[in-house]
Amino acid sequence: MSPADPFFDEVPDHRGRNSLKWGKYEGRDILPLWVADMDYRAAPEVIEIAKELARFGHFGYGKPSPALTELILERMDRLHDWRIQPNWLVWLPGMVCGFNIAIRAMGKEGDEVLSNIPVYPPFLTAPGNFGQNLIGIPMTLEGDRHTIDFGALASATSPQSKTFLFCHPHNPVGTQFTRTELERFAEFCLRHDLSVCSDEIHCDLLLDEGATHVPLAAISPEIADKTITLMAPSKTFNLPGFGCSFAIISNPELRRRYKKACAGIVPDPPAMGFALAEAAYRHGEPWRQRLLHYLRANRDLALSRLAGIPGLSPFPVSATYLLWIDARGLAVENPQQFFEEAGVGLSDGADFGSPGFLRLNLGCTRALLEQALDRMEQAVGAR
Ligand SMILES: Cc1ncc(COP(=O)(O)O)c(C=O)c1O
C-alpha cells in the first residue's frame, strides 16, 4: 500500500454545505459513500482561478476560449491518440443532458436503445424520456471482470434497435474495455446499423498502471461516423458542480441533428465552468496523477478488506472510483439498507438494474474508508 498523501487525506468539512452527497445523511452518523462525487479539494490552480473570477466580481455569460479548445485537441491526441477537429465539439452543461439529447437525435419514438446492464441509473430512464424503449444487455463475467455479452447483444438486437448507449469506462462495474473488445463492438454496431452514444466521462480515471483509454470513435472512421462521444473534466478533476461537458461528433450530419435537438433547450456551460475546465486541463495533471495514486491505494485497501467479509464479493476496478460489490451472499432482503443501518451509506444496485448489489465510492479519505470498512465488517460479523 502506498503511503497516504496529506493533500487527499485532508478534505473540507462538507457538513452544512448543501452537498448532495453529505446532505443525504446530515445529522445522522452514516458515512456517505454513495453518489459519484469525490470529497477532495480541487487542484490548487483551479481554486486560484475560481478566486480570481470571484474577485473580478462579474458573472455574465461566457464562451469557451480558443485555448480551451486547443487544450482539448492536444489532450485527445496525447492521451488517447485521437486527432479531432475544433468544429467537432458541441459544448454542454452536463453529461446526462448530453446523452438524453443524443437519444433524441439518433432515434425516434418506438425505437429501441440498447445498453449494458448494470449501468449508471440515468441510462435506464433516458430512452423513455423520448418514447423509446430500453433493451438491457446483462454484462457477462470473464473471471471476475465484467464485459459485453456479445451473444446476448446479438439475440437482443432487432430491426427496431437504433442506438447503443455505451458507458466506457463502465460505471458501476469499473471495466475499461480493451481495444479488441471495442473493435468487436464497433464491428457489431456497424453490421446492425446502430448509432452509438459513448459516455466517456470516466476516461481519465484509469486505475491500472500504464493503462490508456481508447475512445470508441478512435477505432475507425466508420464507427466515428456513427458515434457521439461525450467527455468532461467534471469527474476527473472533481468539478461536477460547474457543468462543463462536450460532445465530439465528426459526422457533420449527425452533428447537425445533435445541435438541432439541443436548440432552445440546452444552455451553454456557465462562464465559470469554461474557466475551471481550462484551468484543470492546463494545470491539473500533477493533481490528477496524485489522485490516481491515492485512489489506487483506496481501491486496493477496499478490495482486500471486502474480500474478507463473508457474503460480499467485490469486483476489480480498472477505471472510475466506484467499486461494485455482489452482496447477494449476505442473504439480507436489502443490502443497502442493512449497511445504512450500520452507518455506511452505499448506492443500491437496484438503481443500476441489479438488486442485491452495492456500489461503494472510493473518493474519500483513507481514514473515512477504513472507518466504513470497519463498520461493514462489524455489521456482518454481528449478524
Ligand atoms: C457514466 C456517467 N455519465 C454521466 C454522469 C453525470 O454527468 P453530469 O453530472 O455531467 O450530468 C455520471 C456521474 O456519475 C456518470 O457516471
- What confidence score (pLDDT) does residue 3 get? 61
Domain of residue 377, residue span: 6-43+285-381
* Residue 231 backbone zone (phi > 0: left; psi -120 to 50: alpha; other: beta): beta
Q: By C-alpha distance, which of 254, 247, 177 is closest to 213?
A: 177
196 & 85 share domain: yes
Same domain, 113 and 169: yes
Neighbours of 190 (CB within 10 A): 15
Cell of 302: 477496499
As to burial, measured by CB atoms within 10 angstroms (0-12 exposed, 13-18 middle, 19+ buried), residue 244 is buried
CB contact set of 8 (below 8 Å; sequence gap of 6+) = 40, 290, 291, 294, 365
Domain boundary among 283, 307, 340: 283
Nearest CA to ligand 1 atom 7: 95
Please give the pLDDT value at position 259. Answer: 98
Distance 361 CA to ligand 1 centre (A): 14
Q: pLDDT, tens digit, for every residue of 319-372?
A: 999 999 999 999 999 999 999 999 999 999 999 999 999 999 999 999 999 999
Task: Give start and end residues of each alpha helix (H) in 174-240.
Answer: 179-191, 221-224
**92/215 same-domain check:** yes
Q: What is the pLDDT of residue 318?
A: 98
Q: What pLDDT is attached to residue 319?
A: 98
Total domains in the fold of the chain: 2
- CATH number, domain of 220, equals 3.40.640.10
Q: What are the two backbone dihedrals, phi and then psi, of residue 334, each rounded to the nearest 5 degrees?
A: -140, 95
Q: CA-to-CA distance for 155 and 336, rounded, in angstroms?
A: 33
- Beta carbon of 177 within 6 Å of any ligand 1 atom: no
The last residue of one of the domains, among 233, 264, 283, is: 283
Ligand 1 pocket member 171 (CB < 6 A): yes
Domain harbouring 377, CATH code: 3.90.1150.10
- Residues 172 and 200 occupy one common structural domain: yes
Residue 4: the pLDDT is 82
Domain endpoint, select from 266, 283, 300 = 283
Distance from the alpha carbon of residue 202 to the mean position of ligand 1, in angstroms: 9
Nearest protein CA to atom 14 of ligand 1, as residue: 36
pLDDT at position 268, please?
Answer: 94
pLDDT at res. 95: 97
- Please give the pLDDT value at position 300: 98
pTM for this model (two decimals): 0.97
Whether residue 23 is found in the same domain as residue 168: no
Clarify whether residues 263 and 300 are in a common domain: no
Which atom, in ligand 1's list, is nearest to the CA of 245? 10
Residue 55 resides in a domain:
no
Q: How far apart are CA 10 and CA 44, in angstroms?
A: 13
What's the DSSP call for residue 364? S
Could you say which residues of the chain have pLDDT below 70?
1-3
CA distance 74 to 84: 9
